[in-house]
Amino acid sequence: MEGYFDLNEMQLDALKEISNIGAGNAATSLSIMLDRKIEVSVPKVNIAPFAEIIKTIGGAEKEVAGGYLLVNSNTPMGILFLLPGEQVPFFLDLLFGSTSETQTVNSQQLNEMQESALIEIVNILAGSYLNALGFFTQRVFVPSVPALAIDMAGAILGEVLQSIGIVSDYALIIENMFSEEEKKINGYFFLLPEPQALEILLNALGV
Amino acid sequence: MVNESVKIGIAEFKIARTPISIITTGLGSCVGVCLWDPIIKIGGMVHIMLPDSKQGRNVLNRAKYADSGIELLIEELCKNGAQKSRLVAKIAGGAQMFNFPNANKTMKIGNRNIVAVKNTLKFYKIKLLAEDIGGNYGRTIEFFTKNGQLLVKSICKGVKVI
């Protein structure tokens, strides 16, 4: 695969479909963890220059919590889960079942337990997602341990896009949005396959 | 008079004349390199994301890399009346946003970006006047072509001028 622009309509649809199933699986896991109904949006596939990709997530300066992990080197892909910074305390409340104490949490000053809880969420989400992907493609995807950063969206996404930057001026990003009924949570789940991984995925899907 | 500003995104560059300032938001491991000719007060900024264009497989966008990005910026400034010998530099960024438990060297891209930027500046004999680099946090920067000041903002450290 020379570039992301060679993809045809059917291949894009296939990517959306696997992402749909992967994200559905991940939403179920999140639902169980948080004991809330989590909905997942229809996936979007976006092929754009890096600067455009960053604009789509609400601007480079917006504070977000990002959990990032890498999938094994045979199929190099990045997975990023983004949560708006202001939702982090509420998210932690749901996880720990506490109320007033964590409401005042400054997302810049999480303790070790809170950080590790967020990392674990990303771990579980990515694991469920990759399970579905593996089932469809008959491959085993080994994710790294996620790393967490809470900062400007541009700074976080910039680092995530770097490995793709070595091979392309554009990124292909498959996006699913998670939300819950009261709209107090809306997280974004991104799959970023490098060209090499994309070829493997599409071959395995037979498109 | 309201000072105008122009914005650049990741792997982009722009040049501007006084009193226009150049802004880039959300620098993480990327580095914002600002060059300035103090005599005619023209300046430029490039938001580089990778250290070395020789490692890239297809280099269409020169602004993406430290070496070719700085070269591009010098060319554009000189085309617009700047003198290479007068150019001075200020840089910001090069953080490491994610700390993977068993990160290998290739992952420390922020640091590699900084090294590449400094080497390139040295190569072109451009004096580095100030820097705000490293750490594990994102930065937004604004470069003022009227006085060569660089404003650096971050969520956790506030605002400073270098």
Q: For residue range A37-63, list pLDDT tens digits in order.
A: 888 888 888 888 887 888 777 778 888
ipTM for the complex shown:
0.83
User: Which structural domain range is residue B149 located in?
Assistant: 5-161
For residue A12, what is the domain's CATH number? 3.40.1550.10
Which among A80-84, A191-195, B137-141 has the top mean pLDDT?
Answer: B137-141
Question: Which chain B residues have a beta carbon less than 8 Å from that of A66?
Answer: 97-98
To test the contact with chain A by mutation, choose from B24, B25, B102 the residue with the greatest count of A C-beta atoms within 10 A, namely B25
The 3 state secondary structure assigned to chain A is: CCCHHHCCHHHHHHHHHHHHHHHHHHHHHHHHHHCCCEEECCCEEEEEEHHHHHHHCCCCCCEEEEEEEEECCCCCEEEEEEEEHHHHHHHHHHHHCCCHHHHCCCCCCCCHHHHHHHHHHHHHHHHHHHHHHHHHHCCCCCECCCEEEEEEHHHHHHHHHHHHHCCCCEEEEEEEEEEECCCCCEEEEEEEECHHHHHHHHHHHCC
Give the dihedral sign, CA B50/B51/B56/B62: positive
pLDDT of residue A29: 87
Whether the per-residue pLDDT at A2 is higher than 60: the answer is: no
User: Which structural domain range is residue A44 located in?
Assistant: 4-205
For residue B78, what is the domain's CATH number? 3.30.1330.200
Q: Does B92 touch chain A (CB under 8 A)?
A: no
Task: Name the minimum distance, in Å, from the CA of A160 to any CA of chain B.
Answer: 9
Number of domains in chain A: 1
Contact between residue B51 and residue B109 where contact means Cβ atoms under 8 Å apart: yes
Which among A4-13, A28-37, B77-86 has the top mean pLDDT?
Answer: B77-86
Residue pLDDT, tens place only, B32-61: 999 999 999 999 999 999 998 887 666 678
Whether the per-residue pLDDT at A98 is higher than 80: the answer is: no
Give catalytic residues of B, as residue numbers. 30
What is the pairing mode between strands B158-161 and A77-84?
unpaired
A31 or A207: which leads in pLDDT:
A31
Of B12, B29, B99, nearest to A147 by CB-CB distance is B99
Question: Which chain A residues have a beta carbon less than 8 Å from that of B29?
Answer: 155, 158-159, 162
Whether the per-residue pLDDT at A126 is higher than 50: the answer is: yes
pLDDT of residue A74: 76
Give pairs for B98-105: CB < 8 Å, separation 24+: B98/A66, B98/A68, B98/A147, B98/A148, B98/A149, B98/A156, B98/A159, B99/A147, B99/B136, B100/A144, B100/A145, B100/A147, B101/A145, B101/A147
Task: Name the minimum distance, in Å, from the CA of A84 to any CA of chain B.
Answer: 14
Q: A84-88, B29-33, B129-133 — which is least confidently predicted?
A: A84-88
pLDDT of residue B5: 93
Number of domains in chain B: 1
Contact between residue A152 and residue A126 where contact means Cβ atoms under 8 Å apart: no
Whether the per-residue pLDDT at A90 is higher than 60: the answer is: yes
pLDDT of residue B152: 95
